[in-house]
Each structure stands twice: as C-alpha cells, then as structure tokens.
Amino acid sequence: MLKKILNLTTTKRLIFFILLDSFIFVISLYISFLLRFDFYIPSVFMDSFFYSLPIFIFVKVFLFYLNKLYFISWRFISVVDFFKIVISLLLAIFIIGLFNYLYYYVVKIYLVPRSIPLIDFFISLTAVSIFRVSKRVYIEIIKNKKTSAIKKTIIIGAGDSGEKIARELIKKDLNMLPVAFLDDNIAKQNIYIHNIPVIGKIDDLDNAIKSTNIETIIIAIPSLSYKKIKQIFETAKQNQIKDVKIVPNTSFLLKDSISIKDLRDINLEDLLARKPVKIDASLVREFIKGKIVFITGAAGSIGSEILRQIINFSPKKVIAFEIDETELHNLSLKISHLLIQIGKKIDFDYIVGDIRDFNKLDEIFKKYDIDIVFHAAAYKHVPLMEHYPEEAVKTNIFGTYNLVVLSKKHKIKKFINISTDKAVNPTSIMGATKRIAEIICSAFNDVTTKYISVRFGNVLGSRGSVIPIFLEQIKHGGPVTVTHPEMKRYFMTIPEAVLLVFQSAAMGSGGEVFVLDMGEPVKIVSLAKDLIKLQGLEPNIDIKIEFTGLRPGEKLFEELLTAEEGTEATKHQSIFTAKISNGYSIEKVQSILEDLKTYIYKSPENIKKYLQKVVPFYRDDKIS
C-alpha cells in the first residue's frame, strides 16, 4: 500500500514538472520570436512558431527526463542540477539546430530562423532556473526570516555524520538552521557543504558563537574524545547556550549510519574520561549467532541492555527471565518496537520467575535447549544489603548456585556471571556475596560448561547509580548529598559495559574472572557538579552540595584493576584477567553452602562473621 502511495506521489510530481516546463518552453519560444522580429511576428513566421513548438517542447522535456531533472527536489536545487539544466538545453540547441538544417535540406527553407534556438536557450535557461530555485529562495530567505522559532545551529564536525545531519536539517525543515561547521581537518577549512561554510576549528568555538549568534550546538563526531566534548560543553555554558546535542557512538547503535533521529542532548556519560570501546564484532557474532540465550535479571539495567544489544548479533532465540513482572512487560514492548524499527525477526520469550526457585529453573532449562546463560540478576544496593544480608545470600549466592548447577546438568555451553568491583577486598555484604558467586562459577568450570565471571564498576544510568538520586535532588532544588569530598568511583556506561561483557564471553575459555578497564576513577563530587551544570545551574550557587559521611559497607576508593593477586593482560586492551587462586572444589563449595544455610535466619552479625571466614580478604569493619 505504501509503495503504491509513493508511486502515485512520484507520478503526480513528474506530471507537474513536465506540464510546468512545457508551459515555460511555450512562453520562451514565443518571446524568442518576439525578440527576433522586434515584437512584431509576421504571419508566415507565426506558422513557423506553431509548427516548431512541439519539437522544441519534446526535445527539451526528453533531455530533462534523461538527465533526471524531474526527480530532484525544489528544496535542494544545487549547482550540479544547474549544470544539468545547462547541458540539457545546449544539447537541445544542437538537436533542434540539426533538425532545422535537415528540414532546410529537404524543403529548402528553415523551419525557424537560425537565431531562434540560441535566443530560446538563454530565455529557457533563465526561466527554468528561476522556477527551480524559487522554493529554495522562499524557504531559506523569506520563510526563515519570518520563523522566529528556528535556532541558528553550528555543527562540530564536517565529516560524513556532520554532512548528513546538515542535509537532513535543511531537508526536513526543522527548528534548527545550520549556519556553520567547525572541524579540525585543515583540508576542510573555508569550504562550503550544502552552502554552509566551515569557519574554523573546534578551538574557535567561542569566537564562532559570538560571530554567528547561534543558539544550538550539534557535536557530529561519534569518536570525539571526552576532553573535546567537555571543552565544547564548557564553552557553550560560558556563552549561555543550553541546547547542546550529540550523535552517539555508532558502536552502541543497531545500525551503521547516523541520522537526526539519533541526536540526543549531551549527558553525563559524554563528559566522562572514557576511551571509545572497540570489540571484535566478528568474534562476538560467531559466539552468539544462531544460539539460544537465557538472560536473568532481564529487565534490570544490565540485563535489558544485553537484550537490546544482543539483537545486533542475530541469536536464534532469547529468553528473558525476570522477577519484576511490570518491568518485564515494559521491556517486552520496547524490544518489540525496536525489532520493528530495525526490521529484524528474532524470537523472544519473556518469563516471570525467581532465580531462587530451583524447580522452575529446571523446567525452563528442560524446555529450551539453551546454549548461553548471561546471569545479571542480583541484589546490588550496598547499604540496604548491610541490613538484610540474608536476602543478599539467598539471591546472590544460592540463586547463582541454582543456575550454575542447572547449567552443568543441562550442558549449557557457556555461563557468564555479571560480577562487580566490590568483590575485590570486599567490605560489604553485597561484595562478599558476589565474590562467593565468582568462587561457585570457577569451582564448577569444566570442558562441557565453561563458567566465566566479568567484573566492572558502577554503570551510569543503572537503578543503583547515584545519578537518579542526584537528579531527583536537583529537581527539588537541592542539596545534592555526597558522602565524602574525596570519594572516587570507576564509571562505565551501560552500553559499553555490555559490549565488553560480550567480548569477554566470546574470548573466555572457562574459569576466568575477567576485569574490565574502567578508565580513570572519577570523584563523586565532580560528577555532582557536572550533573548540576547539565541542568543549566551552577554548583553551590543554584544548588548546594553537602557531604554526609560514608555509609555502611562503603569504601572511599574502589579496587578494580588491582585485585588481591593482581591482573594479567588479555588480547583485548580493555579486558584483564584477575589472577585469583581458587582452591575450591565443587565439594568444598557445597560444604560451605550447607553451613551457610544454617546462618541465613540468624542475625546479620552472625552472617557477616561466617562470610568473613569464607571469603578471602572480606572484613566487615574495613572502611577506608
């Protein structure tokens, strides 16, 4: 149906242009005769006009059609299109002139005076060009002057992404009007792209803002470093420009090209000291393509991103397992919409359940011939789990044990346990339970089922992140509460964490505890300040920052790349292997868990004391 509508629209457009041009060619030829005969055309030459008119119209229309001049948009008439008009009309002169001489050769009289085709060329060229450019002139000059809502926009980056963004902004007549480019490429200085000048380098942004009176900045370089992004952001804020948009890194998109639909407001992730994530996509695709994948905690921050990004690697089926039915339902709607958008067909099943329910998991593993398990379900809130350690033990330890045992029983090929930096020298129940989960995975590793754990730090935008808390505090006018002025954390965006999880899972041979390179640790107070600025406010002027002191189980600094025994490099620059001496057999793990069962319903202090005996380096009182 859509195709028929588009064909009908194209046909109407073609007929409109042909009729319009035919009218122009009639007038043009008539004026040519008037000029040739000093505005009085003898009757004999009026006959000549009527005889030659069909030839003039047919030849010109045919050549215009041949040069695809009926398939361009008035809105986008360009220099190239103008040259096509010139060439078509010059060819028309040649063909009509040739016909005129052949006519003379046969009947010994010219069909039209020999000067007529030349005069007609100039009149036709002028008239056609004026009509073709009229809409562009109207929209870009008259209409733009009348529309006060249109924001002058500067585009950072004159490469493929910048060119496409500029073209779409012009074409779709949105409320942003690109007036200039900035690009560090010397070869692009002082050139024009879609009639928009490249007026300098990125460092010239301050002067460019003042000289062009812009209101919006678009960063159209997907690989631009965070330092440059932060520099652009700070310059924008100094010039009271609140509208700063950015194109995302194409690594995180389920497509290769950028469009204006991908533009988003600059956010905290863009300002962090992170290197662009690169993965071996062919290795990951080989690992996932055609496989049946089971994901626990599917509606959580990490689980839902695994679902979203795994689509790009064409699994056969994805089973999303989640205890929160509302979030799982919302997730199913989002994934269905995403699949429609990108035109992919992948089978998704959504199951409500608890990883602590061994029998239900067993039934699921019997029903589906699962190849890969991504285990993201866990209790992660550090201070809260200090008060309810029994719940952390039930989910993080026994829930993981259920999945590990069943994966071995049903001969799952790979089991990927999502772990945390807090498992290193743990000072919290959450960290200690996640460390035991790693120990369980390593103990059960064998040639049939390969168990891998992947550690990383805080992910921005997750439900346990400080960002939603800070945003809520800013929304209510502050203060923003930070526990300590020197507190630092490693941060990673959810999409890049998931990409590296895929990479780790694909390259792991089993038994490893992989550690992701989280970059440089970030001061939480700096994070709070950047977030306040992103809302167009000033830290400690518009929004106060207050320090509240460390909470139970918190560290001042997270240890990640310096695990107790250190790390070893892998073939991927962002992934390391923790050198952990796991002297745990399956029998020893089972013995520990049997003992732990007797402590679940005892006091929190008793649970912590037992975990201190079991977990290497765990000290409940170790808060540094």
Active site residues: 422
Instruction: Tell me the three state secondary structure of residue 216.
Output: strand
Q: How far apart are CA 374 and CA 417, in angstroms?
A: 6
Q: How far apart are CA 132 and CA 79, in angstroms?
A: 12
Q: How far apart are CA 569 and CA 104, in angstroms?
A: 87
Q: How far apart are CA 44 and CA 48, in angstroms?
A: 7
Question: What sign for the dihedral angle of Cα 502, 504, 509, 514?
Answer: negative
Tell me how far CA of residue 280 lies from CA of 277, 456, 503, 533, in angstroms. Answer: 10, 19, 7, 36
* Alpha helical stretches, state H, 350-493: 358-367, 382-387, 389-392, 400-409, 429-444, 466-475
Beta bridge partners of 243: 216
Are the C-beta atoms of residues 389 and 615 closer than 8 Å to each other?
A: no
Residues with Cβ < 8 Å from 577, sequence gap 6 or more? Answer: 512, 513, 514, 515, 567, 568, 569, 570
Which amino acid is present at 404? V
* Residue whose pair of structure tokens reads 């057999």 in the numeric block: 585
The distance in angstroms from the start CA to the end CA of the chain is 67
Strands (DSSP E) contained in 456-578 are 458-460, 480-482, 488-489, 491-493, 513-516, 522-523, 545-547, 567-569, 575-578
Instruction: Tell me the three state secondary structure of residue 350.
Output: strand
Respond yes or no on whether the N-terminal peptide bond of residue 616 is cis (omega within 30° of 0).
Answer: no
Q: Which two tokens stand for residue 400?
A: 């993981």
**C-alpha R_g of the chain:** 34
* Residue whose pair of structure tokens reads 């300002």 in the numeric block: 271
